[in-house]
């Protein structure tokens, strides 16, 4: 519809545009972040939460401090420059982090695109057309007004349109996209936490397996010496053939332990190489040893009420719940009218020469309303689907929280059991050491044979393997606890 210029019409459009923002009505359910009671515990009072002091007095102590925040660079608690360097290299070379950052940036741009719907959309159009018009187009008789049979029409001018978001559908979509951007941000945090945690754990695994392989090498060396001595004594008739078979069996049994440790070491090295952004063939681990690590004596423990606001997986589930809530608002807004305001001005000319003269200027102001009347239940089904998705997201959030609490509880109990196991392995190692010293003294005095001394040394090496494994497990569970807290 072509209108004549008038101040009243222009003022009406400006007033509608100005009042559109405060008149917005949000029809969605809204989103409130879930809360956790401050008195929630990780472990029930019926479970023991402390190591047995009667058996752990000779090993390094480790205290758990509830309510203390985890440091952002928590791996520095182990006081290993080599470990710090590995983590730094992993962060710099991770393809996983690179992909997570790109997905976050893509979603942030999607939010910006959605926000653009809040503002008027301005366009510029230009056209040139060769056409023919009939007097009947303007409601005239065929001979009332002579028109050129064919003419060229030049047009150019701006246009503006604005969608009144009276019922919040646009804002709910922006809220949904913002929640999905939060989700991608927490996914990036989760990827960072997984990267740093796995790097530290694989490094400790490499150091532990190397130490165990070295101790196993001592066991195999003793087995071979033992077999050689038994064969020598069998050849001179001092022992029967059964002793040789027994020594051979012992050597064969201990040799079966070597391939398993070799495979574990290969897997740990390959995993560590990929975490650092290298192909396994292009990278070798540094000389990393358990002796270069310091067990944190004071481990922070985030309270359950704080954990839900710190762990990336819980925050990701909360963001998905927020997005599902906004989707209900989007589906609900579809039941209400959709109003769009538009305006345009253009200059028209038949010859192009007087295209910008006042005589060729035309303008228009329009308002459009779309109200759904019948859609065979489509909108109601979409809203019911949004409600079901919201309930599913709420259940997923609750399950994520429960699993997080379970993981922390498992690790806390594991640290208690690790301490008791390490103490038991330490006693076994000390006993085996004293046995070696006694057998060595008796052998020097002629009171015992070389086989008894070798057997005592072999028992000591076995106890050493067990002690190394228990010590490494304590490191690994400490790493898992720090990561389970959200890694700072």
Q: In this predicted model, what pLDDT tens digit does every residue of 12-67 receive, in sequence order?
A: 333 333 333 334 455 556 566 666 666 678 888 777 666 666 666 677 888 888 98
pLDDT single digits (tens) 229-271: 889 888 888 888 888 898 899 899 999 999 999 999 999 999 9
Q: How far apart are CA 17 and CA 163, in angstroms?
A: 9
Q: What pLDDT score does 352 carry?
A: 67
Q: Is residue 168 pLDDT above 90, yes or no? A: no
In order of 361, 370, 446, 456, 462, the CA distances from 450 in angstroms are 114, 99, 10, 10, 18
Mean pLDDT of 199-226: 93
Distance separating the N- and C-terminal Cα atoms of the chain: 62
459: Cβ–Cβ under 8 A, 6 or more apart, which residues?
432, 435
b or e along 400-422 (b: 16 or more beta carbons within 10 Å of the residue's beta carbon)?
bbeebbebbbbbbbbbbebbbbb
Lowest-pLDDT range of 29-38, 167-176, 421-430: 29-38
In order of 33, 170, 323, 372, the CA distances from 332 in angstroms are 21, 12, 14, 12
What is the 3-class SS of the chain, one letter each residue?
CCECCCHHHHHHHHHHHHHHCCCCCCCCCCCCCCCCCCCCCCCCCCCCCCCCCCCCCCCCCCEEEECCCCCCCHHHHHCCHHHHHHHHHHHHHCHHHHHHHHHHHHHHHHHHHHHHHHCCEEEEEEEEEEECCCHHHHCCCCCCCCCCCCEEEEEEEEEEEEEECCCCHHHHHHHHHHHHHHHHHHHHHHHHHHHHHHHHHHHHHHHHHHHHHHHHHHHHHHHHHHHHHHHHHHHCCCCCHHHHHHHHHHHHHHHCHHHHHHHHHHHHHHHHHHHCCCCHHHCCCCCCCHHHCCCCCEEEECCHHHHCCCCHHHHHHHHHHHHHHHHHHHHHHCCCCEEEEEEEEEEEECCCCCCCCHHHEEEEEEEEEECCCCCCCHHHHHHHHHHHHHHHHHHHHHHHHHHHHHHHHHHHHHHHHHHHHHHHHHHHHHHHHHHHHHHHHHHHHCCCCHHHHHHHHHHHHHHHHHHHHHHHHHHHHHHHHHHHCCCC
Q: What pLDDT score does 18 carry?
A: 35
Task: Give the confidence band of 430 by pLDDT, cuts at 50, 70, 90.
Answer: very high
The arrangement of strands across the sheet holding 121-131 comes to: 121-131, 151-164, 338-349, 361-370
Contact 324, 396 (CB under 8 A): no
Q: How far apart are CA 70 and CA 204, in angstroms?
A: 20
- pTM over cut 0.95: no
Contact 160, 344 (CB under 8 A): yes
> Which sign does the torsion angle of CA 451, 453, 459, 461 carry?
negative
Average pLDDT of the residues of the chain = 85
Radius of gyration of the chain (CA): 38
Select from 161, 174, 168 the least CA-distant residue to 17.
161
Q: Which residues pair with 97 in a beta bridge?
A: none
Degrees, nearest 5: CA angle 61-65-66? 150
Q: Is residue 203 pLDDT above 80, yes or no? A: yes
CA dihedral 392, 394, 396, 398 (to 10 degrees): -150
Q: What pLDDT score does 85 carry?
A: 95
CA dihedral 444, 447, 452, 457 (to 10 degrees): -30
465: Cβ–Cβ under 8 A, 6 or more apart, which residues?
212, 215, 216, 219
Q: What pLDDT score does 33 carry?
A: 62
Mean pLDDT of 341-351: 81
Q: Is residue 273 pLDDT above 50, yes or no? A: yes
Q: What pLDDT score does 452 carry?
A: 85
> Which sign does the torsion angle of CA 244, 246, 247, 253 carry?
positive
Mean pLDDT of 420-445: 89
Instruction: Enumerate the domain spans of the chain.
Output: 1-30+337-370, 37-136+168-335+381-484
Residue 387 CA from chain centroid, whole number: 26
Select from 324, 327, 299, 320 the least CA-distant residue to 400.
320
pLDDT single digits (tens) 59-91: 788 888 898 889 999 999 999 999 999 999 999
Superfamily name and number for 37-136+168-335+381-484: Outer membrane efflux proteins (OEP) (1.20.1600.10)
pLDDT single digits (tens) 389-413: 999 999 999 999 999 999 999 999 9
Higher-pLDDT residue of 467 and 50 is: 467
Mean pLDDT of 310-325: 95
Mean pLDDT of 456-469: 92
Q: Is residue 163 pLDDT above 50, yes or no? A: yes
């Amino acid at each position: 519809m072509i209108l004549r210029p008038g101040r009243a019409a222009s003022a009406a459009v400006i007033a509608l545009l100005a009042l559109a923002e405060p008149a917005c009505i949000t029809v969605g359910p809204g989103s409130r972040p879930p809360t956790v009671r401050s008195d929630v515990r990780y472990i029930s009072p019926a479970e023991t939460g402390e190591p047995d002091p009667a058996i752990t007095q000779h090993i390094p102590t480790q205290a758990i401090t509830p309510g203390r925040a985890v440091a952002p660079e928590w791996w520095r608690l182990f006081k290993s420059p080599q470990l710090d360097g590995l983590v730094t290299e992993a962060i710099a070379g991770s393809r996983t982090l690179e992909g997570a950052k790109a997905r976050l940036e893509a979603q942030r741009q999607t939010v910006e695109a959605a926000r653009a719907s809040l503002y008027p959309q301005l366009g510029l159009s230009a056209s040139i057309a060769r056409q023919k018009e009939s007097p009947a187009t303007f409601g005239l008789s065929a001979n009332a007004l002579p028109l050129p049979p064919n003419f060229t029409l030049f047009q150019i001018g701006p246009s503006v349109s604005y969608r009144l978001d009276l019922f919040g559908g646009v804002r709910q979509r922006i809220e949904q996209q913002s929640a999905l951007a939060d989700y991608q941000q927490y996914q990036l945090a989760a990827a960072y936490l997984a990267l740093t945690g796995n790097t530290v754990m694989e490094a400790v695994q490499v150091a532990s397996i190397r130490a165990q392989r070295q101790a196993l090498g001592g066991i195999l060396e003793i087995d071979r010496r033992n077999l050689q001595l038994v064969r020598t004594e069998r050849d001179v008739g001092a022992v029967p053939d059964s002793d040789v078979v027994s020594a051979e069996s012992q050597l064969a049994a201990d040799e079966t332990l070597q391939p398993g440790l070799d495979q574990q070491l290969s897997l740990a090295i390959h995993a560590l190489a990929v975490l650092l952004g290298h192909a396994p063939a292009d990278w070798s681990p540094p000389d990393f040893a358990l002796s270069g690590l310091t067990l944190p004596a004071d481990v922070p423990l985030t309270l359950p009420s704080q954990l839900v606001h710190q762990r990336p997986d819980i925050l990701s589930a909360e963001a998905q719940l927020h997005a599902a809530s906004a989707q209900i608002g989007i589906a609900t807004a579809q039941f209400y009218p959709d109003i769009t305001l538009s305006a345009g001005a253009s200059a028209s000319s038949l010859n192009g020469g007087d295209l910008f003269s006042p005589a060729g200027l035309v303008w228009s102001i329009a308002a459009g309303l779309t109200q759904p009347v019948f859609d065979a239940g489509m909108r109601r089904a979409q809203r019911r689907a949004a409600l079901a998705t919201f309930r599913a997201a709420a259940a997923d959030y609750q399950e994520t929280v429960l699993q997080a609490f379970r993981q922390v509880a498992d690790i806390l109990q594991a640290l208690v059991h690790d301490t008791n196991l390490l103490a038991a392995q330490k006693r076994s190692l000390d006993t085996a050491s004293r046995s070696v010293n006694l057998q060595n003294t008796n052998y020097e005095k002629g009171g015992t044979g070389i086989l008894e001394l070798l057997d005592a040394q072999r028992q000591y090496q076995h106890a050493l393997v067990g002690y190394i494994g228990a010590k490494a497990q304590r490191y690994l569970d400490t790493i898992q606890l720090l990561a389970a807290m959200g890694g700072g």
